[in-house]
Structure formats: structure tokens, C-alpha cells
Amino acid sequence: MTYLKAIAAALTLTVSLPAAAAEMLMITDAYAVSASPTARTGAAFFIIENHGPADDRLVGVTSDAAERVEIHTHLEDASGVMRMIKVEDGIVVPAGARHALRRGGDHIMFLGLTAPFDAGRLIPVTLIFEQAGEIAVEIPVDLNRPPEPASGAMHGG
């Protein structure tokens, strides 16, 4: 009987770890935009704060707001032209640091919107982290938000 209790306790701890890990991550300053009311694409930006003792990595994202949702970034090619590309390996958020997803840098790309990104609409998104697992957020559409400088990663408290 003690053996069965030990297994049950271990399973309970294993199931609890992702929830505890998710509490170590905070999503702040989130907003979404699209180019126009008829645009078929949109983007979301936010800051991921990792208050935990270990690095984590944003590895995926899902949402019913679009046919495809991907992690993207901008990179300068050999001719000096900035190109938007899909991030295949995810985005690392170091322990005790934060990472900003901003215009001109890392961002979430919505391809094939299922409905327009109207001002004030809340976009349900599930962020998938390597350690923390899935974190559900609602991102407000803010079409009047001015672009901020593309700073990419922001390390430190």
C-alpha cells in the first residue's frame, strides 16, 4: 500500500509542476494589431517576464483567431533588407529576465484571420512554453498604439 501511495504522490507532483512553472511567467503589455479592417493578417506583441529559477522557451502559439499562428522575427539579409521569418526554435526567456515581442522584432503572426481585428476585440491565444506548458491569454486589439523602438530582448529585472 505504501508503494501505491508513493506512486500517487509522485504523479500528483508531476501534474502540479506545469501549473507552478506557469506562475513563474508573466505576460504584460500585450496588444494586437492588423493593417486594416480587411487585412488577412495580424500581429501580437507583449513582454514575457520569467520570475522563475530556470530559463524557459516560447515554442509555440495557438489561436482560433487565424488559420495559422506562428512565432516570427525580423532579420536583415545580406543586401540590408529586413525580412520577416518564422522562428523555428522558439524564443528563450532567461531566468530572472524578460523578453519583449515588439514591432520590427520578435512577434506573434496571425495568418488567415478568421474575423477582423476590430479595435477593442480580445484575441484568445495559448502560448506554449517548454517548461511552463500552456498559458492562455486574451490580447486586446489596439489599432491606435504607436510603434515603439524594436528593442528585442530585454534582460534584467
User: Cell numbers of 141, please?
Assistant: 486589439
pTM listed for this prediction: 0.80
pLDDT computed for residue 20 by the predictor: 55
User: C-alpha angle 135/105/126, rounded to 5°?
Assistant: 15
Closest CA to 25 of 77, 98, 90, 82: 98
The neighbour count for residue 64, using CB atoms within 10 Å, is 12
Q: Does CATH place domain 2-145 in 3.10.450.50?
A: no
User: Cell numbers of 18, please?
Assistant: 506545469
Q: Which of 30-34, 76-80, 106-110 has the lowest mean pLDDT?
A: 76-80
Backbone angles phi, psi at 147, to 5 degrees: -65, 145
- From residue 147, alpha-carbon distances to 44, 64, 130, 141 in Å are 12, 25, 29, 14
pLDDT computed for residue 76 by the predictor: 86
Q: Which of 8-12, 96-100, 105-109 has the lowest mean pLDDT?
A: 8-12
Range list of H helices, the chain: 2-23
pLDDT computed for residue 22 by the predictor: 58
